[in-house]
Amino acid sequence: MAYQESRTGDARLDALAAAIDRHFQCTPYELVYVCGELTLITPAEGWHERAQTLRDHPDFRFEQLIDVCGVDYSAFGYSEWETEAASSTGFGRGADHSGSLATDDPRRFASVYHLLSVAHNRRLRVRVHLDGVEPIVDSVVDLWSVANWFERESFDLFGILYRGHPDLRRILTDYGFVGHPFRKDFPVSGHVEMRYDPELRRVVYEPVSIEPRVLVARVIRSDSRFGNDAQDSVHA
């Protein structure tokens, strides 16, 4: 998908968009401009080759990788807590996952890359959507060595697999941790709990003993202190 006539007023981003059109015209992609930033949305297949082009070609020269992060887009744009009505049951996604999560969506996950070109003084965000059942994408550690720990963090928290990563293991959670805690279908209380056993003299894992419960107030009230009438009385 070609980039439409720019309304950004930024010549650097216009030149970047034109370069993407020239080099990636045989690849299905989308360019999005929001809040002064350009995002390239590209498929996972062939991502490593395009990443190398973004790093090495004189039209791009993105020599620095600022960040890699995972995203879970299931139930994106939906919030069960956005309401002004009272509830007899409360609101607790941690206790009930039913209805809103499309866990098998082929675009559920995304690996997002933030690139910086010092030579051209411009930035680019690249979003690679991944399958919801088995999210796999090529590692870019051989292109930007800093991606090593970034990709490990994305794997640890979202379960995204980076093909070709030299040491893809957990980096934030414990080695015995079950699941990936930033996935939206991960229970708030987790799958197992950890404690130190003085008799065994080691840490042990056990099933979660906490009952799922709602921790959000059942009634949402408007605070009159922040209403228009209150503000008028203050300034009167």
d(CA 197, CA 173): 20
Burial bucket for residue 150 (CB in 10 Å: 0-12, 13-18, 19+): buried
| 128-174 pLDDT tens trace | 999 998 999 999 999 999 999 999 999 999 999 999 999 999 999 88
Asked if residue 158 belongs to a domain, the reply is yes
Residue 36 maps to a domain: yes
Q: What is the dihedral of CA 144, 3, 39, 70, to 10 degrees?
A: -80
- pLDDT for the residue numbered 217: 56
pLDDT at 176: 76
Has residue 142 been placed in a domain? yes
Residues 41 and 4 sit within 8 Å (Cβ to Cβ): no
Q: What is the CATH number of the domain that holds 142?
A: 3.30.460.80
* pLDDT > 90: percent of the chain: 54
Residue 89 domain-assigned?
Answer: yes
What is the Cα–Cα distance from 5 to 37, expressed in whole angstroms?
15
Structural domains counted in the chain? 1
Structure tokens at 149: 């720990």
pLDDT per residue over 90-130, tens digit each? 555 444 545 567 778 889 999 999 999 999 999 999 999 99
Write down the pLDDT at residue 234: 42
Contact by Cβ (8 Å): 196, 203: yes
Does residue 20 form part of some domain?
yes
User: Is residue 6 assigned to a domain?
Assistant: no
Q: At residue 236, does pLDDT exceed 50?
A: no
Where in the sequence is the domain holding 18, given as residue range(s)? 11-235
3, pLDDT greater than 80? no
The predicted pLDDT at position 75 comes to 77
Whether 181 maps to a domain, the answer reads yes
pLDDT of residue 76: 79
Residue 3 belongs to a domain: no
pLDDT at residue 8 above 70?
A: no
